[in-house]
Amino acid sequence: MYDFQSGGDFERDLNLDELLKGIDKSRLISALNVLLDTTVGVVDDTGASVIGDNSSKTVDRVPLHGELEPVGFLQTRTAVPSERLSAAADLMQLILRCNARYLLASDIHLQTQRDDFEELQRRNVALQASEARYKKLSESLEIRVKEQVKTIEKAHLKLYRNEKQASVGRLAAGVAHEINNPLGFIRSNVATAASYLESFYEFNALIDNGASSKDLRKVWEERELSLLLDDFKDLMKESLEGLDRIAKIVIALKGFSRIDQTETERADIDTIVRQICQVAESQWQQKAKLVLELSSETPIQCQSAQLGQVVYGLLGNAVDAIETNGIIRIRTAVRNGAVVLEVQDNGRGIPETVLPHVFEPFFTTKEVGQGTGLGLTVCHDIVKEHGGSIDIVSQIGKGTRVTVNLPVHNAIQNPKES
């Protein structure tokens, strides 16, 4: 049987059954019956009945040709003039031929469709394989990229931490200077005071030896012991002041060096600013005047050492921006529920093209080795951790103002107080 679903090989020889596919056999046979005026039957090349009545004996028979060979026979029960019989066979062959054309066309159509589809599937499989290969490649690429990114992030983190440590180191250098100064004059004062003591020991020996009060008075005046005594008092007072200064620096430094602290405490920004200025004074001494206008006086829950680093960083930037005769103003205030810290300089300013990038990690305009490009990044991160914001306004040649806003009731709450 002809398979219309899957089609056949268009080259195969079609049998009569296939050639009659789709043709109304009863109409065909009744037409033939009428035309030939007898009972007509059609058998295939093996003699099997295909259409009509082939049960009883037949008289006339004429072959039906397919492509080349007979595919069947037209037979009649009574005698029919041969020209009429062959005309009927011809008519039927025309019908079969038309059908053959259709069958061949549909066969080759189906075959090419199937071939094309198989080809598409093969290509699809090949494409999927290649896609899988690329996917695998891209996955391994992703992993490698991730590893690289991890390595870089690690390096960045290290540099970032180094930046925090380095600021402490830079500070330490300044602090050494700050401490050396009072240490110098305290030492000199104490040495002078010690030398004064000799005169008083000698005077004491005179008393022990029973010198008269007149003699004693004379020696007292000759040696100007009253002046020495006054000076001694001054020396001690000055030394104590120096020691106090050192003590303050040490306290400030202690606070500032605790940059790894995680717990928060209540501290006010004014104190932090004062402490930082105390230990960092040597940085601007030569080229700028520092003006403090501190009026926040509001303690906030914060990591004070971290905020100290912010102040120190901003102050350092301000000093760097100044060539000479500069004025650095640090203002604090409380505005709209936030502690505001402003560091303003009248230095060279930041170019417009640079400004959008100043908080980006590793962005620096300084010479290689001069800056890490992390200073403002660290400041920015610390302020963010405190739930605050940091903004920079700058004008070339006029100076720069950095404003830090820290909410009084910020995200960092001391667990003990909350």
Partner 1 sequence: MAAILDVLFIGRFFPKVMAQYDESSQKLTIKLVYYGPALSGKTTNLMRLHDILTPDMKGELMIMETADDRTLFFDLLPLGFRAPSGLLIKFKVYTVPGQVIHDSTRKAVLSRSDGVVFVADSQRTQSVNNGESFENLAANAARVGLDFQQLPLVVQFNKRDLPAILSEQEIMARWEKAPWPVLFSSALTGEGIIETFKALLAAVYLTCDRLYRLQSDHGLDCDSFIAQTLGGSLSSAKG
Phi/psi of residue 134, nearest 5 degrees = -65, -35
Q: Does 46 bind partner 1 (CB under 8 A)?
A: no
**Bridge partners, 52 (sequence order):** 41
Q: Does 115 bind partner 1 (CB under 8 A)?
A: yes
Contact pick of 6, 27, 57, 69 for partner 1 (by CB under 8 A) = 69
Contact pick of 109, 154, 158, 218 for partner 1 (by CB under 8 A) = 109
Pairing of β 288-294 and β 326-335: parallel
Contact pick of 67, 90, 263, 352 for partner 1 (by CB under 8 A) = 67
Phi/psi of residue 290, nearest 5 degrees = -100, 125
Contact pick of 97, 161, 177, 245 for partner 1 (by CB under 8 A) = 97
How far apart are alpha carbons 391 and 380 in whole angstroms? 9
Best CA proximity match to 216, nearest among 204, 228, 230: 204
H helix intervals, 291-371: 304-321
The one segment of 107-115, 196-204, 319-327, 329-337 that binds partner 1 by CB under 8 A:
107-115
The one segment of 52-60, 100-108, 226-234, 289-297 that binds partner 1 by CB under 8 A:
100-108
> What HEC string does 67-120 produce?
CCCEEEEEEECCCCCHHHHHHHHHHHHHHHHHHHHHHHHHHHHHHHHHHHHHHH
Contact pick of 87, 91, 108, 168 for partner 1 (by CB under 8 A) = 108
Q: Does 367 bind partner 1 (CB under 8 A)?
A: no
How far apart are alpha carbons 58 and 280 in whole angstroms? 130
Residue 338, CB-side half-sphere exposure with 13 Å CA sphere: 16
**Residue 94 Cβ vs partner 1, minimum distance, rounded to whole Å:** 10
> Which CB, 115 or 234, lies closer to partner 1?
115
> Which CB, 113 or 128, lies closer to partner 1?
113
CA dihedral (154, 156, 157, 161) positive or negative: positive
Structure tokens at 413: 């709450």
> Which CB, 46 or 212, lies closer to partner 1?
46
Q: Does 101 bind partner 1 (CB under 8 A)?
A: yes
How far apart are alpha carbons 35 and 88 in whole angstroms? 8
**Residue 38 Cβ vs partner 1, minimum distance, rounded to whole Å:** 28
The one segment of 17-25, 60-68, 337-345, 347-355 that binds partner 1 by CB under 8 A:
60-68
The one segment of 103-111, 182-190, 213-221, 338-346 that binds partner 1 by CB under 8 A:
103-111
**Residue 113 Cβ vs partner 1, minimum distance, rounded to whole Å:** 8
Q: Does 104 bind partner 1 (CB under 8 A)?
A: yes
How far apart are alpha carbons 132 and 18 in whole angstroms? 47
> Which CB, 3 or 215, lies closer to partner 1?
3
Q: In the range 6-35, which residues lie near partner 1 by CB under 8 A?
A: 10-11
Phi/psi of residue 340, nearest 5 degrees = -110, 130
Contact pick of 17, 35, 65, 271 for partner 1 (by CB under 8 A) = 65
Contact pick of 24, 37, 116, 131 for partner 1 (by CB under 8 A) = 116
CA dihedral (167, 173, 178, 179) positive or negative: positive
How far apart are alpha carbons 29 and 40 in whole angstroms? 7
State the binding string over 229-268 for partner 1 (x if CB under 8 A, else -).
----------------------------------------
**Bridge partners, 294 (sequence order):** 332
Which stretches of the chain bind partner 1, using CB under 8 A?
A: 10-11, 65, 67-69, 97, 100-101, 104-105, 108-109, 111-112, 115-116
